[in-house]
């Protein structure tokens, strides 16, 4: 059954490599720039625009988890990085590192997801690379996607624009992705289930484009979760952030899994959410627009920027206050 798994020769540059690329890559992505497999894709860039360029490698384990797989993640992660920079995602690269012995069926399912999600997000996979390493030198497959987007006018984003009084919004429940992967990895069955939130956020950004000048900061809370992003915003600045525990959107499944595993959901990765910090006057209209979209249904305001220097504080439901610290130590490895 050798033909049903990846072999070292699939990465050697010879006949096997060519066949794999033709059958699995060109068949899915072979229109347009990828046609003829040049060393690079030639892209028509609109005049007078800024482009945004980003990259992410994905090493998630397991490769497939409730709600998605490494292919979904590779598209969404890069699309979302472009989106939170205020860009319309346009082009993706796709670089695969495959482990000898990987079932071709797994590769195909993951590439199908890449194709489907790329189409869904309006991005085109225009260039790629495939390497194969020996059994035991990678965990099934690692995926890198770099992306290019076209920056929308009006967005001037930067944590340095955030000031006390600004509102902090999030586009939906946080932590589901990390908990779904962790639960899958640990083989935990949770009554209510928990599914990854992996998904694109570019429509959420484009939908609030009219408010761009008053949006100060956007970020997708991946590794380190909300805690990492919010601490980064106020670090070394004469301001803080106050979160209301009762406003924090967590799903039942994520809460159950987090309790079971002793994890703080504020530090857990999402892969389909935005944190947005904006002038208080636009938080209601932004939330209204977001809630009208499927991917923003759970959007809510979670807190405000204060003048308490460099601290993120959570006001608990019982009225107490606790510090939301920068995540330390190992956290949750191989979540993305």
> By CB under 8 A, what part of segment 260-319 binds a copy of itself?
267, 269
How far apart are the C-alpha atoms of 176 and 258, rounded to whole Å?
Answer: 10
Backbone angles phi, psi at 274, to 5 degrees: -120, 140
Could you say which DSSP state residue 273 is in? Answer: -
Tokens of 191: 């009554």
Q: Is 67 in the site for a copy of itself (CB under 8 A)?
A: no
Subset of 190-209 contacting a copy of itself (CB under 8 A): none
Tokens of 27: 């068949």
Of 53 and 321, nearer to a copy of itself (C-beta) is 53
Residues in contact with a copy of itself, shown as a per-residue x/- string from 35 to 64 under the rule CB under 8 A = -x-xxxxxxxx-xxxxxxxxxxxxx-----
Q: Is 96 in the site for a copy of itself (CB under 8 A)?
A: yes
How far apart are the C-alpha atoms of 64 and 193, rounded to whole Å?
Answer: 15
Among residues 173, 224, 253, 272, the one that binds a copy of itself under rule CB under 8 A: 224
Could you say which DSSP state residue 59 is in? Answer: -
Q: Is 213 in the site for a copy of itself (CB under 8 A)?
A: no
Number of residues that bind a copy of itself (CB under 8 A): 85
How far apart are the C-alpha atoms of 71 and 24, rounded to whole Å?
Answer: 14
Of 144 and 198, nearer to a copy of itself (C-beta) is 144
* CA 125 to the chain's CA centroid: 17
Of 55 and 252, nearer to a copy of itself (C-beta) is 55
Of 44 and 319, nearer to a copy of itself (C-beta) is 44
Q: Is 222 in the site for a copy of itself (CB under 8 A)?
A: yes
Subset of 106-165 contacting a copy of itself (CB under 8 A): 126-129, 131-134, 136-139, 142, 144, 146-149, 151, 157-159
Among residues 6, 20, 63, 84, the one that binds a copy of itself under rule CB under 8 A: 84
CA dihedral (92, 98, 104, 106) positive or negative? negative
Q: Before 62, cis peptide (omega within 30)?
A: yes
Q: Shortest distance, CB of residue 237 to a copy of itself, whole angstroms? A: 13
Strands 275-278 and 167-170: antiparallel
Of 80 and 198, nearer to a copy of itself (C-beta) is 80
Tokens of 76: 């969404």
């Amino acid at each position: 059954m050798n033909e049903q798994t990846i072999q070292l020769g699939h990465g050697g540059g010879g006949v096997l490599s060519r066949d794999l690329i033709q059958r699995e890559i060109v068949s899915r992505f072979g229109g347009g720039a990828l046609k003829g497999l040049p060393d690079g894709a030639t892209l028509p860039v609109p005049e007078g625009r800024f482009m945004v360029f980003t990259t992410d490698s994905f090493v998630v384990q397991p490769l497939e988890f409730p709600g998605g797989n490494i292919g979904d993640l590779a598209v969404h992660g890069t699309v979302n990085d472009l989106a939170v920079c205020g860009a319309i995602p346009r082009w993706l690269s796709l670089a695969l590192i495959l482990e000898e012995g990987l079932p071709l069926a797994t590769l195909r399912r993951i590439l199908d997801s890449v194709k489907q999600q790329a189409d869904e997000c309006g991005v085109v996979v225009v260039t790629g690379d495939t390497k194969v390493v020996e059994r035991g030198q990678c965990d099934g497959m690692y995926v890198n996607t770099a992306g290019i987007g076209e920056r929308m006018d009006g967005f001037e984003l930067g944590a340095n624009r955030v000031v006390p009084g600004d509102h902090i919004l999030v586009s939906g429940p946080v932590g589901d992705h990390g908990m779904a992967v962790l639960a899958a990895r640990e083989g935990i069955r949770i009554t209510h289930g928990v599914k990854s939130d992996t998904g694109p956020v570019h429509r959420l950004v484009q939908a609030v484009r009219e408010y761009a000048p008053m949006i100060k900061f956007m970020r997708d809370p991946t590794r380190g979760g909300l805690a990492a992003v919010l601490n980064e915003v106020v670090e070394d600045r004469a301001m803080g952030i106050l979160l209301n525990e009762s406003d924090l959107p967590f799903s039942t499944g994520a809460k159950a899994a987090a309790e079971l595993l002793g994890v703080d959901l504020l530090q857990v990765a999402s892969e389909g959410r935005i944190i947005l910090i904006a002038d208080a006057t636009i938080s209601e209209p932004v939330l209204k627009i977001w809630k009208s979209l499927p991917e923003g249904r759970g959007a809510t305001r979670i807190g405000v920027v204060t003048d308490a220097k460099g601290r993120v504080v959570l006001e608990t439901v019982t009225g107490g206050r606790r510090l939301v610290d920068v995540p330390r130590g190992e956290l949750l490895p191989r979540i993305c």
